[in-house]
Amino acid sequence: MESQRNNHTAWRICCTLAVVILCLAFSPLFIPAGQHAPLLLGLPYALWTGIALCVLMVVITYVATLVHPGNTSR
Amino acid sequence: MLQSLLIVGCIYLALLIGVSVWQRRLRTNSKDYFLAGGSLPTVLGLFTFAATLFSTFTLLGMPDLFRVHGIGAWHFLAVSDMALIFGVIWIGYHFRKVALKQGFWGMAGFLNQRYGNRLAGGVAFFGVFVFLIPYVAIQIKGVSDFVAHAFPDLLPGWGWSVLMVAVMLLYSELGGLKAIVYNDAIQGLVLLVVIWIVGISCVREVGGLEAGYASLIERQPALASVPGPRGLFTPQFLIGSMVAILLIPFTQPQVSIRLAIMRDNRSMYRMAVGVGTFAILVILPTAFIGLYGSLRYPELTAFEFLTQALIHDQPATLAAFVLIGLLAAAISTADSQIFALGTELRSILNIQDDRRLTRITKIGIGVFALIALAFSVVSSDQLALLARTSFAGTSLLAPLIFVAVFGRRGAGSRLLPLVTLAGILVFVGSLFGWIPEHLLGLRLDLLLLVLLALVAVGIGLLDEGEEEAAQTN
């Protein structure tokens, strides 16, 4: 029962994180108009932050699958 | 080069047909044929989902988008795909819960059952027909024109189109959805391997990533930032694309059927994480090819650039694999779409005799393929942007579908299907230039989606109120 409640909380946190990250992804924080600095390994800002954001989203999605309320249902 | 192409092409064709014949022998009923038995494991689900999602426009359209419009293309597709995978586990769970309870044969049939009338399914079928046929057509055309451009003396563009459609029909008619799924797995792997080899070779050619992007920033800094030199990737365009792409698993039947036929929820979740990883892996090298194009071939047309970068600048054997990879990418998406249109048709037909139903569906699949083939002759070559139009068009069905998933059976009645139909017609009107593409400062597709969502929410609230009143009485 306790673990089920924890899973539910974790699931909600994952959903909130995903929504916040995706909203920020299209804001000037990640895609500032006409700006390519700071670079990382030579990659322009919007590109390397975009890649990092995608990796983070895959990780969040993975965690979300572990704590999903319907994880065990067939 | 031609010799390499013939050898690789024959091996590929033998694999496709072999898998189809093998699946034909294993088939026992129409559920096996149309729903691949309804029990896909994670890995197979991942590859068929990915191959259906990442089509010609990934291999041809994305490098050109990066080349012409800059790095905003990453947000256009990759970030939007991350929204899609999260949507799959979030909404997909509820979709499967409702859809599988009543036996899922197609989205249109599912809507008929949930709305309690045949109008809902009819509107859904109309929507996917109107927006999927052009999408299938541009893929066939894109690849056919490209191959014809690479081998001007071999076959004309329409000849390659006919060949592709014939192969597609042959193996899907032989083996059904299971054959398509297995072939998608082969095609997805071919696409991934080929695109990485080309991507790495392009990075080497520009002296590495650091040197390449340094040159790009020096020559054309607008390509290294958003919205790009032509101002395409505005936040509104990107958000509109993200919403349309996020809704694909539920609004495009070739994808939603793959959610419905996963073995269980856990397989679907794992598949979603795999698709996210696949998306990053398959889109990243297209950025490298685009970078190469921006530096080497900034003035060429899309086809000239792609022919140079993917064929002429590569060793002969690799170029042959690229061409087969391209044909595979186009076929894997187009066959799934055509087959899904057939399944959608089957789901709304009111015929009890299974044999007759199967026969009519197969004829339908053939007719849809011919219509797409005819349309491919007259469609434009703006692959990525036409694909986006297809996503935006089918996304208008989302409120209709979500009310069916989250609402009570019968909620929405005939009103929501009718309003959705009006929305689709208005959007089609804007594509023909009869209605402006922007209204009140918003893109029309986004505005229509917001309006339809508001109507759906209103219907949901009214329905809840009625239910409460009925319980009180």
Tell me, what's the ipTM?
0.93
pLDDT in tens, B127-171: 999 999 888 888 888 888 888 887 788 888 888 889 888 988 887
Q: Which of residues 252-271 of B touch A (CB under 8 A)?
A: 264-266, 269-270
Q: Say yes or no to pLDDT of B232 above 50.
A: yes
The answer to whether B257 touches B35, Cβ cutoff 8 Å, is yes
pLDDT in tens, B255-268: 999 999 999 999 99
Residue A60 has what pLDDT?
A: 97
pLDDT, mean of residues B319-342: 84
pLDDT band at A74; cut points 50, 70, 90? very low
Q: Say yes or no to pLDDT of B341 above 70.
A: yes
pLDDT in tens, B389-410: 888 889 999 999 999 999 888 7
Q: Which residue has the higher pLDDT, B22 or B386?
A: B22
CB atoms B72 and A71 under 8 Å: no
Minimum CA–CA partner of B269 in chain A = A65
The answer to whether B348 touches B110, Cβ cutoff 8 Å, is no
Query: Domain-by-domain residue ranges, chain B?
Result: 2-24+40-385, 396-473
Nearest to A58 among B90, B214, B273 (CB): B273
pLDDT band at B438; cut points 50, 70, 90? confident
Work out the number of other CB atoms within 10 angstroms of the CB of residue B24.
Answer: 17
List of chain A residues whose C-beta atoms are within 8 Å of the C-beta of residue B222: 34
pLDDT band at B331; cut points 50, 70, 90? confident
Helices (H), B307-353: 316-348
Mean pLDDT for chain A overall = 90
Nearest to A65 among B71, B81, B270 (CB): B270
Q: Which residue has the higher pLDDT, A71 or A22?
A: A22
CB atoms A62 and B273 under 8 Å: yes
**b/e burial code for range B107-119 (CB count within 10 A of at least 16 → b):** bbbbbbbbbebeb
CB atoms A70 and B72 under 8 Å: no
Give the sign of the dihedral formed by CA B276, CA B94, CA B406, CA B34. Answer: positive
B156 near A CB under 8 A: no
How many residue contacts between A and B have a Cβ separation below 8 Å? 130
Round to whole Å and give the CA distance between B57 and B283. 11
Residue B412 has what pLDDT?
A: 65
Residue B382 has what pLDDT?
A: 58
The answer to whether B444 touches B426, Cβ cutoff 8 Å, is yes
Round to whole Å and give the CA distance between B384 and B58. 8
Q: Does B2-24+40-385 carry CATH code 3.30.565.10?
A: no
A38 near B CB under 8 A: no
Round to whole Å and give the CA distance between B340 and B197. 32
B235 near A CB under 8 A: yes
pLDDT band at B385; cut points 50, 70, 90? low
CB atoms B217 and A36 under 8 Å: yes
Q: For tokens 């920033």, name the residue.
A: B217
pLDDT, mean of residues B9-29: 77
Nearest to A57 among B209, B235, B276 (CB): B276
Q: Which residue has the higher pLDDT, B293 or B105?
A: B293
Q: Say yes or no to pLDDT of B34 above 90.
A: no
Residue B387 has what pLDDT?
A: 72
Count the helices and strands in chain B (H runs, E runs). Answer: 22, 2
Residue B465 has what pLDDT?
A: 74
In chain B, the percentage of residues whose pLDDT exceeds 90 is 45
CB atoms A44 and B280 under 8 Å: no
DSSP track, B344-397: HHHHH-----HHHHHHHHHHHHHHHHHHHHHHHHH--S-HHHHHHHHHHHHHTT
SS3 B151: coil
